Amino acid sequence: MIEIQDITFQYQKKPLFKDLEMTLKPGNLYGLLGKNGAGKTTLLKLCCGLLYPQAGRLSVFGRTPHLRQPAFLSDLFLVPEEFLLPPVSGALYRQMLAPLYPAFSAERFEAHLREFELELPGRLDRLSHGQKKKFLLAFGLATGARFLLLDEPTNGLDIPAKGQFRKILASELDDSRIILVSTHQVRDMEHLIDPIVILDSGKILFSQTLEDFSSHYSILHGELPDGAVVLYEEQVLGKSLSLVEGELPGALPLDLEFLFKAVTTHPDRFTTAAPVDAAGSTRKEVAHA
């Protein structure tokens, strides 16, 4: 379990997070969505202990990230958006780093590399950007760490690799793990991430499981029933595509990009009220503008 309680953080003078609250539970693949600059990377770094909150409490499986205890570090893996790999072979990298992760699986690492159509490579620093990303994702997912943080994992992957990545990621989720994927490429993670957390300007605007979403909202194309409370709409093929309150008949499956646009366009209509429990018990107040 990861508990973020009343976290405050700022880089220089401008506050980014103020009293941020969130709980992440094992067995979930969280999608952290937000525009560029929303604070996604900063939140990931706080969870890893790479940044320290100025106030509040942060606990990852009972440990405080910024203390960086060995047992904490061996149970966590971050794949940053940008990274360098050392000038060593893939085999040497594995030999050096795998022992740091007691739950590392050589079989799964090899299976992931095969899925990505990447042989255990020679000099890692000579790989292309996309190949480096595949290598680190394959390694990170095979560490068996209970907390995986993937920052914009699909950036730099080509279309087949995005599909391979989705397959690998789905195979790695189990009841003990928390996978937190930050992305602004909403489409790449569709039908994979659940719950969805939408961050904007350092605030959580939305945090719900897909099941919660469909019991609170419906997406309808065309005519609306009388009294429908429309939270967002746009024109698609000459008809209104609307996000409306309530579970209504004829609702279309969730379109993440549409939800994202709705929430970031009218954040006031999706205000999270009580402490956000991103695994399902979010209580919301919808303020109608």
CB of 48 to ligand ADP, least distance (A): 13
Burial 220-252 (b: 16+ CB within 10 A, else e): beeebeeeeeebbbeeeeeeebbbbbeeeeebe
Say which residue the tokens 């659940």 belong to: 194
Return d(Cα 191, Cα 181) in angstroms, integer: 13
Token representation of residue 151: 């920052």
CB of 236 to ligand ADP, least distance (A): 28
Q: Which is nearer to ligand ADP, 151 or 212 (CB)?
A: 151
CB of 12 to ligand ADP, least distance (A): 6
Residues that bind ligand ADP in the complex, under the rule CB under 6 A: 11-12, 16, 34, 36-42
CB of 187 to ligand ADP, least distance (A): 17
Return d(Cα 168, Cα 165) in angstroms, integer: 5
Q: Which is nearer to ligand ADP, 9 or 116 (CB)?
A: 9
Q: Which is nearer to ligand ADP, 50 or 251 (CB)?
A: 50
Helix (H) or strand (E) holding 135: helix 129-142
CB of 21 to ligand ADP, least distance (A): 18
Return d(Cα 168, Cα 142) in angstroms, integer: 10
Q: Which is nearer to ligand ADP, 26 or 80 (CB)?
A: 80
Return d(Cα 220, Cα 68) in angstroms, integer: 48
Token representation of residue 235: 């024109």
Say which residue the tokens 């942060």 belong to: 58
Q: Which is nearer to ligand ADP, 38 or 150 (CB)?
A: 38
Phi-psi region of 260 (alpha: psi -120 to 50; beta: other; left: phi over 0): alpha
DSSP label at residue 253: P
CB of 189 to ligand ADP, least distance (A): 15
Q: Which is nearer to ligand ADP, 50 or 230 (CB)?
A: 50
For residue 31, give the nearest of 197, 188, 254, 184 by alpha carbon. Answer: 197
Q: Which is nearer to ligand ADP, 22 or 244 (CB)?
A: 22
Q: How many angstroms separate the Cα of 12 from the Cα of each of 9, 46, 65?
A: 9, 16, 21
DSSP label at residue 254: P
Q: Which is nearer to ligand ADP, 14 or 253 (CB)?
A: 14
CB of 260 to ligand ADP, least distance (A): 13
Return d(Cα 24, Cα 191) in angstroms, integer: 19
CB of 51 to ligand ADP, least distance (A): 9
